[in-house]
Structure 1
Amino acid sequence: MDIDMGALRALEREREISLPVLLDAIRSALHAAYLHTDHPVRDSEVLIDERTGEVAVIARERDADGVVLEEWDDTPENFGRVAASTARQVIFQRIRDLEDDAVLGTYADREDDIVSVIIQQGRYPRMVLVD
């Protein structure tokens, strides 16, 4: 299973989202999705090759002292579909968070000031007009 790194790099340029931040969010979301599959291994991690976009779930078996006895690729067969959906949701959520932060940043220097504004919902549910 692969992630289109070219698309992520384009998103990084267009929306000014740091690629490492985006990849960390995708990794954690994919790991959460993996833990909801049949027979997940708790001691596991999701690896994303930043050059090729290849995704793998690496599972580990440890002894009582915490020493790794065995590592193996435990990527589920149908994980590509799950990964694509998860990555899309994470990217859209991150974009919304950044847009919300930008609006908040506009008024951050007004902290402790009393202001009077009118807030209206725009044409679309996520559009907010502050006057």
Structure 2
Amino acid sequence: MTGTRDEEYLGIREVAASVGLSQDTLRWYEREGLVPRVERDGSRRRRYSPRHVGWLRTLVLLRRTGMPTRDMRRFGRLAADGAATHPERLALLSAHRDRLVARIAALGDDLAALDGKVERYRELIAQGRDCGAPLPDGD
């Protein structure tokens, strides 16, 4: 990584804390090819550049939104190939966004159903009533 001063490099502990991942997860990301090669110092300790940290933050975002590892890997390969891959990256991110919007809508429906159940139990408790007969055992 040319142009980066030694004091700008971070060790794995600092990077893990900075991006909200465990050290083991960072190592796993490296093994899975999600992170560009990380330099090592003379003692073989990892030296993450500011660019690595930025990329890891992107990966954390993608993972938190449910992007599969294979798509994260593909996105990384496309990013490494430069600006010519912008249309492919846009398509990948747009498809993921569409899945995320659908998941949010489904969660909204689930939350509304759960809210209805909570309200029903509050009413039953306030009235001192039972919710109904228990389900049969199936015997």
Considering only CA atoms, is the larger Rg found in Structure 1 or Structure 2? 2
TM-score by length of 1: 0.36
More strand by share: 1
TM-score by length of 2: 0.34
Q: Which structure would you say has the larger RCO, counting Cα contacts within 8 Å and 6 or more residues apart?
A: 1
